[in-house]
Chains A and B, each alone.
Chain A
């Protein structure tokens, strides 16, 4: 457990992560898992829990769960059993959720996270099990009633249950991001947070170091890394405040509101765990053969840790940069494509983590939806490298490209942004600047070498201004030094 203290309190965090599996059809029926279609258009008789229907397990859901298990070095359940978790809720048509409990498909495993100070930490995974998602309850637009859309009912999920190995919000977020990187690299999940592809339940307790675990609360259904971090910080503060005021923590489920950064109690767990689980009589035990496991293991794609190591090795990036770029499959794909098209990994890395990341961040966009494609960024890098444009102009071209004004080459051409390569023309401008600034020239010539280096900046600035930034700054510097020499 973590040793980092928060005002003398030790924080203990465990996560339950629901990951929607990217299958075409549902876990127990042949209905589509597509989203965005008319409500209930993908709710089959099986999903609706109609009498007389029987579930049949989707092979790909099993495979995806096994792939995840292999990626975290977990014991694979050669034999796993579906059970019924019984509770009543309008978006759960059968009156029970088909899930796994005693014999899950993925046993104990581990995930290594990188902390901000560069250290690594292992988060143990207790297990991961397969289950079906519920439908959606829509509370608005139904004048005082609730609308039920069961398109999501039966979508396959794996629920990943961690051990309480995280000691603060940053570690929990690092763990969540790592899981996101793993499942998207595997291709078992689309990883679109805004669509609820991954949802996090956070168990939090605090204690004085050395004392037994405190009572925990569960903050449910967080669907962004940012909200998760805020919700954890909020709950930790709340628990410490309650305890320091002599109060007691009640075991309860809490709901976080990201818009107001507040949370409230949803229900106390007086009926805790009274789901009366029992093995689902409609489903037989699922067996996974050694051959199947071996095949899936052999087919595993490159995982985030391996990708990071390769970036360090292949592109000579720092561990930190490699970690950032390999941290999500979308970023990794973008970076590699830009590096390939631009022929310079270091430049590509700088642009992806710098200009592009800043721009995406400011418009709250995902890299997969970047208005500047990896090919376009690659072209921009090519033009930087061959001296067609300066890095200052490159930013201008990037901005125009972002705004949909075309490919970098077309923008450079249309706006006449090519760096001045004609030395004769540049010389004329340099001469003009020198002729226009007699006082500065006098000042420069009477200064010593160290001061001259600073004073030359004025002339460079004037030349760049006169050429609208199109001159090559190094060339300008050289010319000026020659011409200003006393």
Chain B
């Protein structure tokens, strides 16, 4: 699929990135080049290759179910732009 300014605008919106109209054309060009490379990769025969979720041949180490993390609220809340009664404050979320 070819990427045009519309697709760039949509993806940028989904990722909450601000992309000016001026940038959009250059971006679509570069993204299309990347997709071109992906197309080239797609031509490789992988019929006898297992899908890969991670490049390392290891599995996830698991931890025991114990509470180990300290309460960091009083260090973290002051960094937030706004807080009140122990909560982070954000502009009203309306659904």
Interface positions of A (Cβ within 8 A of B):
23-25, 29-32, 38-46, 48, 56-62, 79, 81, 86, 88-90, 103, 137-139, 141-142, 144-150, 255, 266-267, 271, 274, 276, 279, 281, 283-287
From A42, A56, A147, contact of B85 by CB (8 A): A147
The 6 residue pairs across chains A and B that have the minimum distance between CB atoms:
A30-B68, A147-B87, A60-B65, A44-B69, A59-B62, A39-B86
Residues of A within 8 A of B61 (CB): 56-57, 284
Given A29-B69, A145-B91, A150-B88, decide whether A57 and B14 contact each other with a Cβ distance below 8 A.
no
Given A90-B90, A148-B89, A284-B56, decide whether A142 and B84 contact each other with a Cβ distance below 8 A.
yes
B86, A145: Cβ atoms closer than 8 Å? no
**Chain B: interface secondary structure?**
loop
If A25-B69, A281-B54 are given as contacts, then 12 extra A-B residue pairs at C-beta distance below 8 Å, sorted by A number, are A40-B87, A43-B73, A45-B69, A56-B63, A57-B60, A59-B64, A86-B14, A139-B93, A145-B91, A146-B89, A146-B90, A149-B86
Minimum CB distance partner of B61 in chain A: A56
Residues of B within 8 A of A287 (CB): 59-60
A147, B69: Cβ atoms closer than 8 Å? no
Within residues 66 to 93 of chain B, which ones have a CB less than 8 A from any CB in chain A? 66-73, 76-77, 82, 84-93
Given A39-B87, A40-B76, decide whether A285 and B60 contact each other with a Cβ distance below 8 A.
yes
Residues of A within 8 A of B73 (CB): 38, 40-41, 43
Q: How many residues of B contact A (CB 8 A)?
A: 36
**Distance A62 CA – B58 CA, assembled complex (angstroms):** 17
Q: CB of B53 within 8 A of chain A? A: yes
Can you offer 5 A-B residue contacts whose CB atoms are under 8 A? A23-B65, A56-B62, A62-B62, A142-B87, A145-B89
Minimum CB distance partner of A45 in chain B: B72
Residues of B within 8 A of A150 (CB): 88
**Distance A185 CA – B87 CA, assembled complex (angstroms):** 35
